[in-house]
A and B are shown apart, each in its own frame.
Chain A
């Protein structure tokens, strides 16, 4: 009984492969010469994409670690504490990059969703999937470090003010996106996003300017922006390690995303090969 059911699903998979073979050649890794003519799709060929990304990943990882460790050493050992908060202010060297990457992560995820919807670029869905988990991780890190800082500074672990609430909404948006794009049911082939997931990514982007403006639009417990276009109200003596950790964490984020994209590509390759094998047996 089970064996018969297995054969049926295998046959269904094979038919599905045959159906998409013409339309979506890329999943079967036969680079089409037509793609090369379009600049948008020049790196849609995974071989070409991997040729650049493979050597780039360790450099990003190494440079990211270097800057994060340098910034952490500067922030923990070299700069003085804040005039009012004392030592607790040092958490900003992790908190600010986490917030930046949590929000930047969703911004790039939304751009990937737009590229997927409009241009159907085969790497866009893969990029969006690769960004979601580290984006959510940094959002969680931002909330956790903020909470740890809030207890001694404000006198509370958590308050429902505009900044904190909108950042928590971002965490839930990430969770929703991961839930929408995981599992096998109803997922398009080759790691691209379903239309629903791509639209969700775009609509969720409305939260990003809300997070950014939340401390300006509404009275909030969280302080206003320290770094604006007009300058920084964080004194230069305390500011420089933040530059290092911001840059370093961003490079690390890039490295993680590229590694995850390579993993998804490798998964696709395996399943494409399995399907081809099933195709030949048929």
Chain B
């Protein structure tokens, strides 16, 4: 066996080892590296007890209610399986709206309402011209969700 082939095999074995280590590390990080918790995780008790956390989900259709003080809003965050009511006092990003994604920093209150102190809008992977968004759903580009 030539030295060149030895080096090639050694490099490939080392590369395989490093890739394996990377995959192991990535899968071990699965929960830790998540940017937010989904409503089903929150209800399943993965986070609670008033500790600071991040909740992400879709804003349920027709759920945004503005309170009488004009600043506080309430809405329901959902992931299709579970939903969590959210209360937030402040200004939301322009892209925040019903049936679109959002991420909220805050904590669960004892009554099961998530009190947010910051809200970010989450954009999905669809891009299309304005006139197309009025077309029926099945005419749109594949959502790929």
Which A residues are closer than 8 A to B by beta carbons?
Answer: 79-85, 89, 92, 114, 117-119, 152-156, 159-162, 202-203, 206, 209-210, 213, 217-221, 223-226, 228, 230-235, 237-239
Contacts and interface: CB of A to CB of B under 8 A. Distances in A.
11 contacts: A82-B129, A83-B130, A159-B120, A202-B15, A221-B35, A221-B36, A223-B122, A224-B124, A224-B125, A234-B141, A235-B141
A232 to B, nearest CB: 7
Contacts of B36: 219, 221
Given A162-B33, A221-B120, A233-B144, A153 B95 contact: yes
B30 A217 contact: yes
B127 A226 contact: yes
A82 B133 CA distance: 9
Interface stretch (B18-26, B44-52, B58-66, B67-75): B18-26
A154 B129 contact: no
A161 B15 CA distance: 27
Contacts, number: 140
Interface of B: 4, 7-8, 11, 14-15, 18-19, 21-22, 26-27, 29-30, 33-38, 56, 92-96, 100, 103, 119-133, 141-145
B131 to A, nearest CB: 8
B93 A223 contact: no
Contacts of A225: 125, 144
Nearest to A242: B127
A233 B33 contact: no
A83 B128 contact: yes
